[in-house]
């Protein structure tokens, strides 16, 4: 069935380190792909998205590329900051309408230390 | 920009009590969702509503009921609260297209003692 596998955390990095959080999915059809971020005590908010193969989503220095051939959407940032400490969720959204078509990964907690 | 508004933000209940979590969105979205978030469990879907007048069970519906009152509002009711329902609850909404973003409320912290 449809599912998403996200790199388990927690991840602890020093400021200015490079970040990769892996995400792969299995899905029928052609999903759109999202990364959401949750800061402490808040709800989830969109970080970036890509809606077709080879699209690159980007925001706040984060990037992810829709790789249809490997069914992946890995999140990267070249130089993390303390303010990036949060939980990150990968979420494919499938094509079917009229039903629940959104799947969340389990979340990856990132802590950035000065 | 109100977006998705849910109330209350914090609530303590005794076992067996009932309560309703309210949610409203002002983005004219068809789809609305209720999730719970527990430590180490990620987000789990309780109920969703693909459009006004329809509701469907998600992954963990037991112990909950929902009402899609109109296009704007989607409430979640705990009829007889149990300690296992201690959690953070999130309401969300979106347009129905696959590329549409899901918008979340700020969360409701519920403790059942």
pLDDT at A101: 76
Residue A100: which of B48, B103, B104 has the nearest Cβ? B48
| pLDDT exceeds 60 at position A98 | no
Considering only CA atoms, which of A114, A88, A104 is closest in space to residue A11? Answer: A88
CB contact under 8 A, B50 and A99: yes
3-state class (DSSP) for residue B84: helix
pLDDT in tens, B34-74: 999 998 778 899 999 988 889 999 989 999 999 998 999 99
For residue A69, give how far its alpha carbon lies from the nearest alpha carbon of chain B (Å).
19
pLDDT in tens, A6-42: 988 899 999 999 999 999 999 878 899 999 999 988 8
3-state class (DSSP) for residue B85: helix
What is the DSSP annotation of B72-94?
A: SBEEEEESS--GGG-EEEEEEEE
CB contact under 8 A, A43 and B97: no
């Amino acid at each position: 069935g449809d599912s998403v596998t996200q790199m388990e955390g927690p991840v602890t990095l020093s400021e200015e380190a490079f970040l990769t959080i892996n995400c792969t999915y299995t899905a029928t059809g052609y999903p759109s792909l999202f990364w959401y971020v949750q800061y402490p005590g808040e709800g989830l908010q969109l970080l970036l998205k890509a809606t077709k193969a080879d699209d690159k989503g980007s925001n706040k220095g984060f990037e992810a590329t829709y790789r249809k051939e490997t069914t992946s959407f890995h999140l990267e940032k070249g130089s993390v900051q303390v303010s990036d400490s949060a939980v990150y969720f990968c979420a494919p959204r499938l094509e079917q309408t009229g039903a629940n078509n959104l799947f969340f990964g389990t979340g990856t907690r990132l802590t950035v230390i000065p | 920009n109100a977006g998705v508004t849910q109330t209350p933000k914090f609530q303590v209940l005794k076992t067996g009590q009932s309560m309703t979590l309210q949610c409203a969105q002002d983005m004219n979205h068809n789809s609305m969702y209720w999730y719970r978030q527990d430590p180490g469990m990620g987000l789990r879907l309780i109920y969703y509503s693909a459009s006004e007048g329809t509701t469907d069970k998600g992954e963990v519906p037991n112990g909950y009921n929902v009402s899609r009152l109109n296009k704007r509002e989607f409430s979640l009711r705990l009829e007889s609260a149990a300690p296992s329902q201690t959690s953070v609850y999130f309401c969300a909404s979106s347009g129905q297209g696959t590329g549409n973003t899901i918008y979340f409320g700020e969360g409701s912290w519920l403790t059942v003692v």
